[in-house]
Structure 1
Amino acid sequence: MQNNTIRFIPFLLLCLIFIISGCSNSNEAQGSEEKQNNKDKDTTADVREYESLNGTIELPANPERVLVAVQDYVGDVLALGVEPVGVAGWISETSPYHKDLIKGIENVGENREVDVEKAMSLNPDVILTYDPNMYDKLSKIAPTVVIPLDYGYHDRITEIGKVLNKQEEANKWIKTFESKAEEKKQALIDANKGDIKVAIVELSAKDIYLMGKTFGRGGQIIYELLELEAPKPVEEEAFKKGWASISEEMIPEILGEADHILLGVRGDAEKMESTITESSLWKRLPAVQSGNVHPYSVDALYYSDAIALEHQLDQITAMFLK
Structure 2
Amino acid sequence: MRKTWLSLLLLFILVLSACGNAANHQKETNAPSAKKEKETMTYQSENGPIEVPAHPKRVVALWGAGYVAAFDVPIVGADSWSKMNPLLQDKLKNAQTVTDEDIEKIMALKPDLIVGLSNTKNVEKLKKIAPTVTFTYGKLNYLDLILEYGKLLNKEKEAKAWIADFQKRAQEAGKQIRAKIGDNATVTVMENFDKQLYVFGNNWGRGTEILYQEMKLKMPEKVKEHALKSGYYAVSLEALPQFVGDYLIVSKYSDSDTSFMETNTFKNIPAVKNGHMFVADAKSFYFNDPITLEHQLDFFKKHFLGQ
TM-score if structure 1 supplies the norm length?
0.77
- Aligned counterpart for 1:120 among listed residues 98, 107, 126: 107
Name the counterpart of 1:51. Answer: 44
Cα pair 2:205 2:287 within 8 Å, conserved: yes
Match in the other structure for 1:249: 238
> What is the CA-CA distance between 1:172 and the residue it aligns to?
1.4
User: For residues 171-250 of structure 1, what are the structure 2 equivalents within 5 Å?
Assistant: 171-250=160-239
Residue 264 of structure 2 corresponds to 278
Deviation at 1:311, TM superposition (A): 1.0
Tell me by how many angstroms 1:86 deviates. 2.2
Q: Which structure is larger by alpha-carbon Rg, 1 or 2?
A: 1
Deviations 1:114-137 (A, max 9, x none): 521121122222111114343223
Deviation at residue 44 of structure 1 after TM alignment = 11
Which letter maps to 1:204? F
CA–CA separation in structure 2 for the residues paired with 1:270 and 1:132: 31
> Measured at CA, do residues 87 and 316 of structure 1 come closer, stay the same or move farther in structure 2, by a change above 3 Å?
same
* Residues 151-175 of structure 1, C-alpha deviations (whole Å, 9 max, x = no match): 3331111111111111111111112
Three-state SS of the structure 2 residue aligned to 1:56 is strand
CA displacement at 1:273 relative to structure 2: 3.1
Q: Which amino acid aligns with 1:233?
A: K
**Taking structure 1 as reference, are residues 114 and 183 closer, same or farther at Cα in structure 2, changes over 3 Å only?**
farther
Contact 1:193 1:320 in 2 (8 A): no
Letter in 1 for 2:190: V
Counterpart Cα distance in 2 of 1:264 and 1:132: 26
- Within the alignment, does 1:95 sit opposite 2:82 as a pair? no
Change (3 A) 1:206 1:132: closer
Helix, strand or coil at the partner of 1:97? helix
Q: Which amino acid aligns with 1:278?
A: N
1:68-147 → structure 2 map (5 Å cutoff): 68-70=61-63, 73-92=64-83, 94-103=84-93, 105-110=94-99, 113-134=100-121, 135-147=123-135
Instruction: Tell me what 1:269 maps to.
Output: 257
Gaps of 5+ in 1: 1-33
5 Å-filtered alignment, 1:130-169, equals 130-134=117-121, 135-150=123-138, 151-169=140-158
Deviation at 1:278, TM superposition (A): 1.8
Shift of 1:139: 1.2
Q: Is the 8 A contact 2:77 2:98 kept in 1?
A: no
**1:127–1:138: 8 Å Cα contact kept in structure 2?**
yes
- Corresponding residue number in structure 1 for 2:17: none
How many residues get paired?
A: 276
Equivalent position SS for 2:87: coil
Report the 3-state secondary structure (helix = DSSP H, G, I; strand = E; otherwise coil) of the residue aligned with 2:285.
helix
Query: CA contact under 8 A between 1:108 and 1:118: conserved in structure 2?
Result: no
Instruction: Report the CA distance shift for 1:114/1:176 in structure 2 as closer, same or farther (over 3 A).
Output: farther
Structure 2 residue identity aligned to 1:67: V
Aligned-residue sequence identity (percent) comes to 33
Structure number with higher helix proportion: 1
Structure 1 residue 206, shift from structure 2 partner: 3.0
Query: Are residues 44 and 213 of structure 1, via their aligned partners in 2, closer, same or farther at CA, if it must alter by over 3 Å?
Result: same
